[in-house]
Structure 1
Amino acid sequence: MITGIEHTGIMVSNMDDSIAFYTEVLGLKLIDRFDHTSVPVELAFLGVNEKVLVELIAGYTGEVTNEGKVHHIAFSVTNIEEKYEWLKEKGVGMKDKEITELPNGKYFFFYGPDEESLEFFESK
């Protein structure tokens, strides 16, 4: 039985740069980091309150296209307008030029350090 989503894995080109972005810009906590020697790749697990949300994977030598990494990850936020302005001030690449409102909430997309599509979503 499925009980929820464990995490989303993202291929990254530079582990240190990606950890800095996800911790310093997005505010996730680095929970664990280690080498997976049988593949071999380096892994980092980030999240909130010890719950892993994102797995960063560096050193993968197989072929992966930008679209194949992950279509997008949506993070739940509060005060979405404040978050939008804060990311712009940090120089984060913004995919959406404005916040979109839906019947169930508001969202906008932006880019991570490897041009992965990320979303902030605020529920109503």
Structure 2
Amino acid sequence: MIKGLYETHIEVSDLENAVSFYTEVLGLKFAHRDETRQIVFLWIGEGKEFMLGLWEQKENLQPRHFAFTSSKEDILNYSVKFLEERALKPYNFLKDGTVQPMVFAWMPALAIYFNDPDGNQLEFIAVLEGEGKPELGVLSYEEWMKHI
């Protein structure tokens, strides 16, 4: 019955600023503005694969977390540069002061994080081939490669 997650919604403090961030900075595509409410829908991916809803909330903003699917190659070779070129500060799961993507060994998956202007925690993630190794915890990609 369930084949995936189609959409998610987050709160933003300034709808126009958020739309600019997600479309101009990250490259999502405008889908629809609901004129009866302070909400904009954006397409993620090609062919209406996924959707992000941005809801303007002026008070009591509750930041959320979600991840964008990416490729291992893009995360390893381009993600940090992509973020830094857009004045975004990448960080890894360990928040150890480095911008080195990390592997969640239990999945396994490779990830790097950054925040939107409202403090929503965003992530680029790529599920890696092979079996998970939960006993390894969270480690660098280079360390992960030594264990597979």
Q: 8 Å contact 2:13–2:61 — kept in the other structure?
A: no
Cα-Cα RMSD: 2.0
Structure of higher CA gyration radius: 2
Q: Can you list the C-alpha shifts for 1:26-65, whole angstroms capped at 9, x where unaligned?
A: 2211111122x3xxx311111222234210001x356333
Alpha-carbon offset, residue 6 of structure 1: 3.0
Aligned residues: 115
Question: What is the TM-score of this pair, normalised by structure 1?
Answer: 0.79
Structure 2: any 5+ residue segments left out of the alignment?
93-97, 129-148
Counterparts of residues 19-98 of structure 1 (less than 5 Å) = 19-35=19-35, 37=36, 41-47=37-43, 48-49=45-46, 50-58=48-56, 60=57, 63-66=60-63, 70=64, 72-78=65-71, 79-81=74-76, 82-96=78-92, 97=98, 98=100
**4+ residue stretches of structure 1 with deviation over 4 A?**
none
TM-score scaled by structure 2? 0.67
Identity %: 29
Higher relative contact order (CA 8 A, sep 6+): 1
In the aligned structure 2, how far is the partner of 1:116 from the partner of 1:6?
19
Instruction: For 1:23 and 1:57, locate their aligned partners in 2 and report how far apart those are by CA, in whole Å.
Output: 15
The structure that is strand-richer by fraction is 1
1:114 to 2:112 alignment = no
Counterpart secondary structure, 1:93: coil
The question of whether the paired residues in 2 share the 8 Å contact of 1:45 and 1:54 is answered with: yes
- Does the 8 A contact of 2:8 with 2:52 survive in 1? yes
Contact 1:31 1:52 in 2 (8 A): no
